[in-house]
Structure 1
Amino acid sequence: MAATGPAGGAERRWDRRPGVPLGPPLDAHDGAVATVATAVLDGRPAAVTGGLDGTARIWDLGNGESLGPPLTGHRGPVTAVATAEIEGRPFVLTGDDEEGTVRIWDVRGGRWLGRSLENPIWDDGVEATGWVATAEVAGRPLAVVNSDETLRVWDLPAGAERDHPRYAEGGSRVTALTVSTVDG
């Protein structure tokens, strides 16, 4: 299965073998879908979409239903989404390019945890972007976040930036971010 978020605002699920849409579009954003990620959340294949309307939504890819109300609170468009499992619970991370914040949401409760991955790293007045990707390293769920042209790594259970070097991008603005495992 594949998921797409076109400029028209409605996400589509696709059966990759014949390349045909699976059911009607998942149309709930007020405007274009800016980002999409897929994951297995609580044993169900799911998609998370972020829209130019400043909301994120979680979808059950099996039946095309929305899993709860929209995730709201960003002041700008949601331009990045990622998922993580923290202490056995599924979470969604959403980022916006206007405030430069990355919020952490409890999927089961549908609520924001009340903290963002922003301070103290964005308190220096430098423009921030809310790009985020997640990975598990040595059994710890981590988030890689971009701000002020620097990639930083956060320990998600601790809610704190890791104590190791930050990875400078050499003055280039990061517009996409992902992580992968290479050689274990």
Structure 2
Amino acid sequence: MIRTVSFSPDGTRIVSGSDDQTIRLWDAGTGQPVGEPLKGHTGLIRTVSFSPDGTRIVSGSDDQTIRLWDAGTGKSVGKPLEGHTSWITSVLFSPDGNRIISCSRDGTVRVWYAVIEDSLQDHAEEDHSPSSPRIRHLTAAISTPNTANDDFISFSSDSTHALRNTTELLACTPHDDRRSTFALLGDDGWMMGPNRRLLFWVPHASRELFYNPWTALVIPGGGVELDLSRMAHGTRWKHCYE
């Protein structure tokens, strides 16, 4: 069963999502398929949408994840966006293509940063052009007093709550994988960082609306946000006494 369809901005292509867990591109003039099916979701596809420049596709699934795709190659871009606790019912790019908004059966709306691939150290060269194929992380542009940060790791909508001194924690972790190394592990509630290091534990009652490093905003508000600006970790554990 086809669950969702959407036109490209120029009207030449159609993207569709199906119960067979695939996304397909079609020529809007001939009705013929374009390329191979886009595969990666493990649940039926409920919602798909093109970016305003037509270069990317966003999809939402019953597997509770959101995925980004290169509309030209059909390849997945970055890691799945995780945070919703039920199936995704709708996804859409912002008009400038920099963010994605999603809603879910879990009763929340989430706003996500739309690109996962570039190093945050490149933020001084940010390109906000709608036609640019690679737009850098928006979090890098947020003014923050955490000047020791090489990468912006935050579990809050307040940039001053970002984790300080991330160099040791993220050592040997590829730049395009740094946010995706953090995952709330199911029912046990432990947040793990690179190399499966335990960072902190979240009580069961606080997990549903919990902020993660991919999330820019959760609606309705009131979700759990952590202030990590004074967190001591790794060999810096003794600084917790300061």
List 4+ stretches of structure 1 deviating above 6 A.
none
Gap change, CA 1:3 and 1:63, over 3 Å in 2: same
Alignment pair present for 1:23 and 2:35: yes
60-69 or 107-116, which moves further after superposition? 107-116
Which residue among 93, 100, 112 is the counterpart of 1:83? 93
Matched with 2:66 is: 56
TM-score normalised per structure 1: 0.57
Matched with 1:11 is: 23
- CA positional deviation for 1:16: 1.3
- CA positional deviation for 1:61: 1.0
Matched with 1:147 is: none
Matched with 2:113 is: 106
Q: Is the 8 A contact 2:55 2:70 kept in 1?
A: yes
- CA positional deviation for 1:108: 2.3
Distance 2:71 2:97 in 1: 19
- CA positional deviation for 1:119: 2.5
Higher radius of gyration, 1 or 2 = 2
Q: Is the 8 A contact 2:22 2:38 kept in 1?
A: yes
The aligned runs of 1:107-146 (5 Å cut-off) are 107-109=114-116, 112-119=214-221
Q: Is the 8 A contact 2:57 2:68 kept in 1?
A: yes
Higher strand share: 1
Aligned residue pairs, count: 116
> Once the two structures are aligned, what percentage of the paired residues are identical?
31
Instruction: State the Cα RMSD in Å.
Output: 2.1
Higher helix share: 2
TM-score normalised per structure 2: 0.44
CA offsets 1:118-173 (integer angstroms, 9 cap, x no match): 136xxxxxxxxxxxxxxxxxxxxxxxxxxxxxxxxxxxxxxxxxxxxxxxxxxxxx
Distance 1:34 1:44 in 2: 20
